[in-house]
Structure 1
């Protein structure tokens, strides 16, 4: 008797803007959401450390094709730096490497902030996913190797003090792709001569998503239908699917081309169509085509025509 194949998940597509709790890794969160939606495919747009909480955008199905656009989006973090100790991981998880009895005043902290705004050079933490000679930096660091990670340019739009006391400072930062908040804590601590590490980190936003899109694991668990191997009737996932954000939302950064049903059908077959409408782009290296708000394709607008490059089926 042949072995029964593994049951395939649903071909559901869209974004789940998860409010990830502290203690859950990004890979674990993706697996949990994939199970909750009984989805056949899932991936995330930007790792969030287990010690961090907040926004982890998770793509299901066809939305996985739009992950790069969300990864490039501006991010907002709220974080607390505890002064007096630098740790090898630059957060609570590590062990202390440098100590100081000095504690900075609010004015002292405020005075160094301008140097961290704009395009700056930043060295990622030793315990990070950066690859060094094909190996992850955190794997080398855990083995006790002293590694040199080259500096990279990152962009920080805003860095504000939210609260300050005699032991710590709470900040909010708006930054671009590749910015390490842990490195900010490390570098500010060294510059202030008091050392520091991240003691709280929460991601509040990943463009184009905001906290209005948040959903928790508990909310999803509460509405997920019970599934049995012996189910004859297909389970109803509509209550879970209500938490999905449309795949097209990830492409708000691109010029938009609205299609008729007939034009959308032609595009799905890989054919170019004439761009119509007063607000339609005349030329665009990359544009997003939709029909009644549903994503149809990503392509280019050339000579008054939309030419599909990547077509979406759902």
Structure 2
């Protein structure tokens, strides 16, 4: 029987709310953070294009189990639309495909914005990760194919015109749900205004439940990280025994449970936590204990223990977390 390979890296867990710089891809960002923290496991909650900057929540260790809850959270973007040109990628990266001499006025733009709030139908960009017959749309687009991407429902809670730049570009702020493409929004606004448009700058400022106050830039992480010769195991000394070398870096991590503000919280005892971690259900006691919930999380001493269902006053674990 084959032996399981030994895990590489530290068993560190938590959320890093990374301030991704322009030019870095989301996968590259995850690899960089995993390397800096020497983490066993890492993943992100919502792709940001290389030309976009801002909030990229990255989960380490046990926090990767909570990624779907952050992916589903509302997002806030600040972006600039350059009028007069439509581009193949709907941002600065692609070649110009259509041009116009018209430039929209603020009143004209504001009058159009109500059409782009609420639940709307939106067609994703040709250069997107949408799968068409099993292939990514951006792969087909790079091969010169024009693909028919069906429109889909997205929800936009707020869309505001913030200001007009001296160059005549428009700066907007949007709060939107999962699956919204800001590049598509710039394209569609330009077409409706009869002047064409594309994204010139894009920054994600919030991903619920995280806020701008949680953002950590790359230079701060690099300054706090131990030197490579200090971060590597010496003489077989495991990563787990080197926690003191990562204290400054680990201080940037938010607790795994921070991602679950959207769920009801149930405080339990240490004994009940031990049962849940073994996969066993527990009875919730106390006058204020919830009786029914499709999904909730149990905590002990403020630490996340499990996500599960509450039925008839019994908490049934679906996903458990190490203590």
Question: For the superposition of Structure 1 and Structure 2, which TM-score range results when normalised by the shorter chain?
Answer: over 0.9
Instruction: State the partner residue of 2:295.
Output: 286
Provide Cα deviations, 1:15-34, integer angstroms capped at 9, x if missing partner: 01000000000000000000
> How do residues 61-76 of structure 1 correspond to structure 2 at under 5 angstroms?
61-76=61-76
The answer on 1:59 being equivalent to 2:59 is yes
The answer on 1:120 being equivalent to 2:120 is yes
Per the TM alignment, residue 276 of structure 1 is displaced from its structure 2 partner at its CA by: 3.0
Query: For 2:310, what is the secondary structure of its paired residue?
Result: strand
Contact 1:85–1:97 (CA<8 Å) still a contact in 2? yes
Query: For 1:98, what is the secondary structure of its paired residue?
Result: strand
Q: Residues of 1 paired with 2:103 and 2:84: CA distance?
A: 7
Instruction: Give the TM-score normalised by structure 1.
Output: 0.96
Q: Residues of 1 paired with 2:200 and 2:151: CA distance?
A: 24
- The alignment covers a number of residue pairs equal to 310
Provide Cα deviations, 1:70-119, integer angstroms capped at 9, x if missing partner: 00000000000000000000000010000000000000110100000000
Per the TM alignment, residue 146 of structure 1 is displaced from its structure 2 partner at its CA by: 1.2
Per the TM alignment, residue 230 of structure 1 is displaced from its structure 2 partner at its CA by: 6.8
> How do residues 104-115 of structure 1 correspond to structure 2 at under 5 angstroms?
104-115=104-115
Instruction: State the partner residue of 1:250.
Output: 259
Instruction: State the partner residue of 1:149.
Output: 149
Q: Residues of 2 paired with 1:167 and 1:227: CA distance?
A: 48
Per the TM alignment, residue 7 of structure 1 is displaced from its structure 2 partner at its CA by: 7.3
Q: Residues of 2 paired with 1:266 and 1:6: CA distance?
A: 27
Q: Choose from 290, 294, 308 the match for 1:299.
A: 308
Contact 1:256–1:280 (CA<8 Å) still a contact in 2? no
Q: Residues of 2 paired with 1:227 and 1:79: CA distance?
A: 37
Contact 1:74–1:174 (CA<8 Å) still a contact in 2? yes
Q: Residues of 2 paired with 1:159 and 1:279: CA distance?
A: 40
Instruction: State the partner residue of 2:248.
Output: 239
Instruction: State the partner residue of 1:219.
Output: 220
Over aligned residues, Cα RMSD in angstroms? 1.4
Q: Residues of 1 paired with 2:265 and 2:29: CA distance?
A: 32
Per the TM alignment, residue 6 of structure 1 is displaced from its structure 2 partner at its CA by: 8.4
Contact 2:289–2:313 (CA<8 Å) still a contact in 1? no
Gap runs ≥5 in structure 1: none
Per the TM alignment, residue 204 of structure 1 is displaced from its structure 2 partner at its CA by: 0.3
Per the TM alignment, residue 237 of structure 1 is displaced from its structure 2 partner at its CA by: 0.8
Provide Cα deviations, 1:220-278, integer angstroms capped at 9, x if missing partner: 11111123357356541111111001111111111111111111111111111121345
Distance 1:237 1:82, change over 3 A: same
Instruction: State the partner residue of 1:184.
Output: 185
Gap runs ≥5 in structure 2: none
